[in-house]
Structure 1
Amino acid sequence: MIPTDTFSPAPTQTRSGLALSFRPLEAADIAPVMALESQLQSHPWRRSSYEDCLAGRHHCWLAEASGELVGFVVVAWAGGDGELLNIAVASQRQRQGVGERLLALAFELVRPHASMMFLEVRLSNRNAIQFYEREQFFEVGQRPNYYPSARGREDALILARQL
């Protein structure tokens, strides 16, 4: 585990010039993070999932621009593998490079503990799949009926990337 008191990612700029700073999730951030995710996902995480970050089971980092929450990333690692559990970018900040910077932060967090990063993505989420492919992820399998959907369940595509 990277202690948050010693890991301090440097502020950065996106390819569109947006200045970002990163910080770990705190208890007071859970409601705004959940509000952001609920604007983007049909089935957002429950509060308990974010509380797992506070308990150290997952690692959630926020991206802020001028003090405004613009995105977040959640990762975990064990046994030499890392997992991208969740990533979100505010709709008004999408396609500006925030996701790329969050993913770079995820790699930085996981790299000392893992040689591969895995993730699941909805089979119907073409934009996300294209984003991950641009970031050198490749398909390693599928999980049938993994995600809840409006029509029942949806398959997940499993992607991986060497770190």
Structure 2
Amino acid sequence: MFTPITLDTSSGLLLNMRLLVESDLADVLLLERSVHSHPWRQSSFEDCLDGRQRCWLAECNGVLAGYVVVTYGGGDAELLNIAVAPKYQRKGIGSCLLQYAVSYVKDHADMMFLEVRVSNRKAIELYAREGFFEVGQRKNYYPTNNGHEDALLMACQL
């Protein structure tokens, strides 16, 4: 059983971290659609409910501020999704979510990997600040409105 915890962001916000439950899906999907041009489907988040992946929510004063989704196996972990609501961006929540995800998987994996759009400079900077480094690119990995965009593959030694 997971016990909710409270984290402090670099900007002084208090975040209550807890696992996703089914009744959260509507709010998570709204946040997902507000920040991603090609959002995950509901079924992707439902996979987090049966244990294949883990999704933690960060709430600020009872409001969903962000979430992070990770999985691990075979000595590796992967950051699958991370999002911060627009009104909470640039307040340290992304760093808290990422640090929390890393702390969760570090006893189960030696490396954590992620993909990020090459155009997403803010996310790339966040990942670099948190110890991730470039290990390659995936050509035409992400859909765009007029084609595809490459993904930067990044990793972090745990």
Q: Same fold (TM over 0.5)?
A: yes
- Stretches of structure 2 that go unaligned for 5 or more consecutive residues are none
RMSD between superposed Cα atoms in Å: 0.9
- How far 1:12 moved relative to its partner? 1.4
Q: Which residue is 1:143 aligned to?
A: 138
Q: Is residue 2:10 matched to residue 1:15?
A: yes
Query: Aligned partners of 1:9 and 1:35: how far apart in 2?
Result: 22
| Counterpart among 34, 38, 55 of residue 50 in structure 2 | 55
Query: Aligned partners of 1:137 and 1:23: how far apart in 2?
Result: 25
Runs (4+) of structure 1 moved beyond 4 Å?
none
Q: Is residue 2:110 matched to residue 1:115?
A: yes
Q: Which residue is 2:24 aligned to?
A: 29
| TM-score for both structures, normalised by structure 1 | 0.94
Check the 8 A contact 2:5/2:18 in 1, yes or no: no
- How far 1:104 moved relative to its partner? 1.1
Q: Which residue is 1:159 aligned to?
A: 154
Query: Aligned partners of 1:151 and 1:160: how far apart in 2?
Result: 28
Query: Aligned partners of 1:162 and 1:9: how far apart in 2?
Result: 26
Query: Aligned partners of 1:57 and 1:101: how far apart in 2?
Result: 22
Q: Which residue is 2:126 aligned to?
A: 131
| Counterpart among 58, 64, 67 of residue 62 in structure 2 | 67
| Counterpart among 40, 54, 67 of residue 35 in structure 2 | 40
| TM-score for both structures, normalised by structure 2 | 0.97
- Stretches of structure 1 that go unaligned for 5 or more consecutive residues are none
Query: Aligned partners of 1:77 and 1:9: how far apart in 2?
Result: 21
In structure 1, give the amino acid aligned to 2:92.
G
Secondary structure of 2:148's match? strand
Query: Aligned partners of 2:50 and 2:20: how far apart in 1?
Result: 11
In structure 1, give the amino acid aligned to 2:146.
R
- How far 1:8 moved relative to its partner? 2.8
